[in-house]
A and B are shown apart, each in its own frame.
Chain A
Amino acid sequence: MARSVAIFVTCIVDQLFPKAGLAMVDVLERLGFEVEFRSAQTCCAQPAFNSGYQDEARAVALHFIDTFADAETIVVPSGSCTSMITHHYADLFAGDSKTMERVNALTPRVFEFSQFLLGQPNLDSLAARFPHKVTYHDSCHALRELGLKDAPRRLLGLVKDLELVEMEAAEECCGFGGTFSVKFAQISGAMARTKVDSILQTGASHVVSLDSSCLMQLRGALSRGGHKVETLHLAEVLASRG
């Protein structure tokens, strides 16, 4: 019997980058998983939490908890949303022992996509091929809160004909930062351009990341600068057969 995983397709992937979500499904199925999408899902609550709206964040987080309470494994195509759930739900519900029990029961079963994949024994069966020069952007929460530095790189290493070139500013923030990107658009834009310069220096044709929000920021800055570099979610690279 195929093992089953529930996916949490983050709101930004759902609404703006469905291809990344579909690619994740493709990869998971290729590894033999039965993928379940719970239609009640919406958002992890991070926008409200980061903006200081704790009550609103709690309400939405509870909705997430209700939606996924009985899921055995939950895979998320985002470091940032995963970290919101696994690290910051505890901040949100500190002092509410009843909910904390549910949070503690849920969070060990929530995995960021690359984190989850790396635990799989049959990664060879992916048979991914991507004949391009690629550079990898460390999204901040995946890197600093989840400690995901090697996992995505190791996965990229499995892709046939893919050349990974590290950029100098790989660990620097792209400048997205949720509402920061519009509240402080000029600073956010300047940060993105620094990142773009670093990407361009590698000569890569694609920049890959775990977070569609960072990719949206980078893509917007690349295209505004008239650069041809494309942005891809890691799942899209792993789903590719060249």
Chain B
Amino acid sequence: MDSREVILERVRRALGRKPGQKPLPPPEPLLRVSYRSPAARLALFRSRLLGTVTVVPEYSGVYAVVEKLLDGQTAVASGHPYLRACELGKLAGVFTDPEELRNACATAGAGITSAYCLLAETGTIVLRACPDEPRLISLLPPVHIAVVPQDRLLTNLDEMLSMTPRPVDEDSSAMVLITGPSRTGDIEQFLVRGVHGPGEVHVVIVQGKTPPL
């Protein structure tokens, strides 16, 4: 018998169950979604994010805001259609070439992504790894900038889970909830930011019409 059978057999014996025996249904899931207006969500997100929030009235203003945030640093931008529509690739020092992704991320001053959604209650950026949104852009550079349309701003994790029964699928191998900068308190509980991931997080929330993607 291989270990798979050994373990399953031990489990069944421990529980007094037979192969194929049906389980009882699990307890009802609890999802606490309370409605908050977009303005309330925005105010909440602003107060909870451990980083800066810049609100831009329409997507055409993103370019200038990101340029200012970068302040001359190099950056890697993901291939997310929203970022392309904002023409961030035209910014000086911003790479979008996927061939050099890993190296570019390891040396860039900032990483620019969009997001699957934002969670107001916890100040969280939710990223789904996918062809347009690689994992390393929000991870290797010391600064992470997320450019996200305001209609992706949700109330909380529960709301996100209620509309996303499967966080991963055939297009996406990972979902990451990013709540503030990378930090550690491992030495004397003294807080240090940016120990492995970005020490700074900036979110640009874009209002107005969606750009032609």
Assess A/B contact in the complex (Cβ within 8 A). no
**A→B interface (CB under 8 Å):** none
